[in-house]
Chain A
Amino acid sequence: MKTIDNDTELKNLIKGIKLDSPGSDFTSKVMGRVFEEETVKAKATNERLLGNGFWVILSIFVLLIVAMFVFSNGVTNEGQLSKLLSSANNGSFSQGYQSMFNNLGSLPLSIGGILLAGSVLLFIDKFFSRITPHHSMQKSF
């Protein structure tokens, strides 16, 4: 009696059938996608997450904070800047550093908040426009 294991007649007949085939360009389509994948992967690896634009914006904000600190105190109290510079020139860098952070406290909280929120929003925008192409497309319209 034939069982699933010893049914050689059925096996030979099934081995002789011609299976359905995809289109003649199937392999080239798959290979096209393989090379496409490679290009995307290589591009993602080479592309820095934070581009030059981000660093320019960040530098501008840092400069703005420093300028605001210097001028907000410098205009009202002229001796402050020279005091700060002279403390740095005297070689006591740590004293100057300490003095800068003490004076930073006098910066209006609202301005600090606006600058910080602006920086965060710009960073988020930059970050998401890089990871989601759809977002950057919307941005360009």
Chain B
Amino acid sequence: MEQKDDIWYIERVLKGDKQYFSHIVDKYKDIVYSIAFKVLRNREDAEEMAQESFIKVYKSLHTFKGDAKFSTWLYRITYNSCISEVRKKKLKFVSTDDVQISDEPEEMNFDGIPEENRALYVKAALDKLPEDEYTLILLYYFEEKPIEEIGEITRLSASNVKVKLFRARKKLYSILNEMLKGELYTIL
């Protein structure tokens, strides 16, 4: 359904109804911006990069054949543009190697935390992940992209995506449980 909608809008744009491109921008701007913001760590740069990504997509829209999903194509352009920008500006990638990955089963203890606030904790924990792991988690769980498509976006092999995703998920649980433990002490 998602792909069908996208293709319909793309066809309209290619036929000359340029204003239909705004539907595509509205639909994907948050995730494109989130990836850019995570990688570039600056709101202005992220917004600029997100704009550039949409313009790049617009300019080469005629080359989109529909073999891959439109969103996969868009995210690949966004992710690669951001990585290139980081390399150009010689920014250092964030490292969370100091995060201790526990061997405990992946359980979340949200006791005492209202249900409506739980997503905020997950978001805060997600923000502490490095950009590559953040992107993998976002694409896999939020966007529900299959491993192969995530590989296409990040230019990693499917097995590499799985390994990184496994580590990222473990790390996310460790960060989250540390945060929740701290919260529990505050409540007590």
Residues of A within 8 A of B (CB): 1-2, 4, 7, 9-11, 13-23, 26-27, 29-31, 33-35, 37-38
Contacts and interface: CB of A to CB of B under 8 A. Distances in A.
Given A21-B30, A26-B51, A13 B140 contact: no
How many chain B residues sit at the interface, stated as a range, is 35 or more
Contacts of B21: 30-31, 34
Interface of B: 18-19, 21-22, 25-26, 29-31, 33-34, 37, 46-47, 50-51, 54-55, 58-59, 105-106, 108, 118-120, 122-123, 126, 137-138, 140-142, 144, 162, 165-166, 169, 172
Pick the 6 closest A-B CB pairs, nearest first. A16-B119, A14-B141, A22-B33, A17-B123, A19-B30, A19-B34
B169 A17 contact: no
Nearest to A28: B22
B33 A20 contact: yes
A115 to B, nearest CB: 43
Given A22-B29, A31-B19, A10 B58 contact: no
A4 B106 CA distance: 10
Q: Which of A1, A17, A18 has the most CB of B within 10 A?
A: A17
Nearest to B168: A4
Nearest to B31: A19
A87 to B, nearest CB: 58
Contacts of A1: 105
A31 B141 CA distance: 30
B118 A4 contact: no
A3 B22 CA distance: 38
A2 B108 CA distance: 12
Contacts of B26: 27
A22 B142 contact: no
B18 A20 contact: no
Given A4-B166, A27-B25, A37-B55, A18 B34 contact: no
Given A16-B119, A30-B54, A23 B142 contact: no
A33 B169 contact: no
Given A13-B119, A26-B33, A31-B19, 9 more contacts: A7-B169, A16-B119, A19-B31, A20-B37, A21-B33, A23-B47, A27-B22, A27-B26, A30-B25
Nearest to B32: A22
A126 to B, nearest CB: 28
A114 to B, nearest CB: 45
B47 A26 contact: yes
B106 to A, nearest CB: 5
